[in-house]
Amino acid sequence: MCAVRSSLPLPVALTARLSPVVVLAAAGWALSSGPLATTPATEHKDSAKTGTPSAAAPSASAASKAYAAAPAPCTSVAKKTITSLVPGAKTAGREIPSTDTKVRRTCSWNALKGYDYRWLDVSYELMESDDAAKKSYQERVTDKSGGGDVPGVGDSGYSVVNLTTEDKQQTREGMVVIRASNALVTITYNGSDFETKKAPSTDEINRGAIKAAKEAVAALEDGQKN
């Protein structure tokens, strides 16, 4: 495949994608205020009541808080996985600034190789308790209806893939949300082909997002248990 010429026009949506800090600062955290999967996601087209704890017993929130800090997101996914999912990207990634790195951390990789474009985000968000994480997870799953469960990863997982078209250019984006105790791990993975104006298949995007999610959750579980 030949290299992209400097005059190659990029669709508006994907031009914005090439400015990772600006896009994620505005959109990435909207979510937080907002082996492979055995059940691929389908494509979508278009606090418990508690009494006052005694002095001798820990609070329910503290007892269920398994993770106290978010891990380094840019080392949460193997370099070979980054090379496979985002060809041409620097494996070190770019961590997005956060107002509180103990609670929220995100790393982003993106690259245009030839005419193929790929983008991957790995985000961690920690809640005060399992119940808070469950509530947030359920809200996100409900908002992103049209996908399917991701079994065997964390306490619960969900994956959805969407296809969008702008200026006749297709982009297919997958999102995976995993809850592990009081932590939420969110993966965003998308791609486009500027030569054919088509997008990668639903299966390719879904499998890639789930693979990254499994590695990101493993990094959380391996290094962050209290």
The residue extents of the domains of the chain are 64-224
Strand positions, DSSP E, the chain:
43-44, 94-96, 104-113, 116-126, 148-149, 156-166, 169-180, 183-193
Q: Are 33 and 100 in contact (CB under 8 A)?
A: no
Q: How far is the first Cα of the chain from the last one, in angstroms, to the nearest whole number?
A: 49
| CATH number given to 64-224 | 3.40.1000
Q: Which two tokens stand for residue 53?
A: 């704890």
* Cβ partners under 8 Å of residue 83, min gap 6: 89, 91
Q: Are 197 and 168 in contact (CB under 8 A)?
A: yes
Taking the whole predicted model, whether its pTM rises above 0.85 is answered as no
pLDDT beneath 50: ranges in the chain: 1-40, 42, 45-63, 225-226
